[in-house]
A and B are shown apart, each in its own frame.
Chain A
Amino acid sequence: MVEIVVLVKRVPDTNARIVVDSGKVDLSMVKWVMSPYDEFAIEAALRHREATGGKVTALTLGSADCDKILKDAKAIGVDELVRVWDDSWAEMDSNSLQSVLSSVILGLGAQVVYCGKAAADTGAGSTCPGVAERLGWASISNITDISFENGIKVTCPFDGGSAKVAIPLPAVISCDKGAFKVRKPNVKGIMMAKRAQVEVRSETAPASTVSVVNQSAPPQKADGKKYNSADSAGEVARLLRDEANVI
């Protein structure tokens, strides 16, 4: 039986307006959701289970606020829910975070880990390759499709185009939208999610050596030139060459 782990993260809704106040992002008013790419990772994990049999465990790192997204994962078909957390944790750099995730993944006996190509908050995309390196596993990032005949084959970006790549287990695989269609929960799934238990684990985390100094609103551009007729396209073309020097 294949032990499949899918990593999920709670992030502000991607349509949320992000407000910065006194050098810090104020998230008190935002709606929180599962990071959108993680939904594609769940879809890949469920397809894996359907093709080979096995068990899918959704894993997140965070406080009890994150139980909601784990239950959302349960509602669309994940088997087990695990959350790792210690109340002493606040800001964690990638080293601290990946160290914790890798320990839990090993403890779960996983043979394959799926995750989103990047979390919608940091957008870094470090977790897939970073966790794989710690575990000594193969990894492949930003896949757009997957098949399970004669081993695992993924479609991913390659040299400006794309390629079908064979990847051996154990492996960490990060998912882009591509051909993945996210399932909707059915009534049975929603009922099961309500009753589902979240297993909470603890781990030791190494100290972080990267810490946030401040957050700010993105730099505002100076007001541009605005024209009210199509004929000005010729003038804009000239300015792109003579003023902006971009063509």
Chain B
Amino acid sequence: MSETIVIAEINNGVVADVTAELVSAVIAFGGSPTIIVPCVNSSIADGAGFTGAGRVIACKGPMFASYDAAGWANALDAVTPAGSIFVAASPRSKDLAARIAARRNIPVVQDVVAIDGSNLTSPVYSGKAMQTVNASADVVVSVRANIFAAAVSVPADVSVIDQSGDVLTAVEELLARSSERLDVAEANIIISGGRGMSSPENFSHLERIADVLGAAVGASRAAVDTWDDIPHGMQVGQTGKTVNPNLYIAVGISGAIQHLAGMRSSKYIVAINKDADAPIFQYADYGIVATWEETLPILEKSLAAMM
């Protein structure tokens, strides 16, 4: 088979942990990947050596200081050998995957959660079904985080290639975040509220638990549509964000199809709802049938005592 390549995921200027998972994904595909590290400072590539992977190429250039889809794709395409390419399924890398695939006239398969040789499985219809496709030629694949085991780090044999590139878009102004809180798309733990929270002010109870756990606060579509104070950026679900955290705590959320589609792949789900028949309980690893008013103070106290 032809070569396989992992483009390392970069977060805050360093190689992100999911990169080690991408190596395992390629091994499941039947390859031993070359690792390409987009960087401004090539020393970060020292952390990109893994058991089961091949050489590491640091692709170094000033355009990697910010993100411009076209600029990144140009520069990375030039140093990436022909073959199948694997990236993390982050919003930025999914863009990059589509760009590089289009540049090479090969297909892209996004959000892959299982790999068996050249068979790739992704959720479709927002996770209401799974679809397995076969790639009969080179393909670009984005892989969801928290699915594959991380490959073991080893010292890297790094070669550095300098790239220059034009960027087309220009960041004019960074906008203040609505809160200092983590975004649900980035969080390992999420606590979400639905219309059962009765008022947007009551989300402060969720925030207190989020503070204890280092979690993000999310919301159902019903909550976002009902209260202007709950912004769409917090919405988890089919028309909001699809999340895949280690722990998802749903409070006062009944579990509409719309919402389940965005969070059902969470590793562990806790549901707190006073309605014992709420559909969310069918997906919960731990369900508590009680009001949030009674439950959250006990949960907060218990968690705080353990952290």
Kindly provide the distance from the CB of B188 to the nearest chain A CB, expressed in whole angstroms.
Answer: 8
Do the beta carbons of A161 and B174 come within 8 Å of each other?
A: yes
Q: Tell me if B286 counts as interface (CB < 8 A to partner A).
A: yes
Alpha-carbon distance A163/B189, docked complex (angstroms): 25
**Cβ 8 A contact of B287, one of A95, A161, A225:** A225
Comparing B28-36, B153-161, B291-299, the segment that makes contact with chain A is B291-299
A95 touches B107 (CB 8 A): yes
Bound CA–CA A246/B215 (angstroms): 12
A178 to B241, CA, bound (A): 12
Please state if A99 and B136 are interface contacts (CB–CB under 8 Å): no
**Cα distance A140–B123 when bound, in Å?**
24
- With both chains docked as a complex, state the minimum distance between the C-beta of A15 and any C-beta of chain B, in angstroms: 6
Query: Which of A99, A137, A163, A247 meets B306, CB within 8 Å?
Result: A247
A125 at the interface (CB under 8 A from B): yes
The residues in A between 129 and 156 inclusive whose CB is less than 8 angstroms from any CB of B are: 129-134, 137-142, 144, 153, 155
Determine which of A124, A160, A163, A231 lies in contact with B171 in the assembled complex, contact meaning CB atoms within 8 Å.
A163
Q: When the two chains form the complex, which single residue of B99, B131, B186, B261 contacts A133, counting CB atoms closer than 8 Å?
A: B99
Known interface pairs A15-B258, A138-B168, A162-B175; A210-B107 also in contact (CB < 8 Å): yes
- From known contacts A139-B69, A246-B268, infer whether A164 and B172 are also in contact, taking CB-CB under 8 Å: yes
B247 touches A163 (CB 8 A): no
Task: Specify the chain B residue showing the minimal Cβ separation from A219.
Answer: B130
Q: Least Cβ distance of A200 to chain B in Å?
A: 25
Q: In the assembled complex, how far is the CB of residue A133 from the closest CB belonging to chain B, in whole angstroms?
A: 4
Q: How far is the CA of A37 from the CA of B290 in the complex (A)?
A: 36
Residues of A near B182 (CB, < 8 A) are 160
Interface of A is mostly: mixed
Name the contact of B281 in the complex, choosing from A99, A226, A239 (C-beta under 8 A).
A226
* Cβ-defined contact, A129 with B99, below 8 A: yes
Interface string of A13-31 (1 = CB under 8 A from B): 0110110100001000000
Q: Which residues of B contact A137 (CB under 8 A)?
A: 70, 168
Per-position 1/0 for B270-300, Cβ under 8 A of A: 1010001000010111111111001110110
B246 an interface residue at 8 Å Cβ cutoff?
yes
Cβ-based interface call for A103 (8 A): no
Offer 25 A-B interface pairs, CB within 8 angstroms, sorted by A.
A14-B239, A14-B261, A17-B257, A18-B125, A94-B101, A128-B98, A129-B73, A129-B96, A133-B99, A133-B103, A162-B175, A163-B171, A167-B169, A209-B135, A210-B109, A210-B135, A213-B134, A230-B295, A232-B290, A233-B299, A237-B302, A237-B303, A244-B268, A247-B247, A247-B303
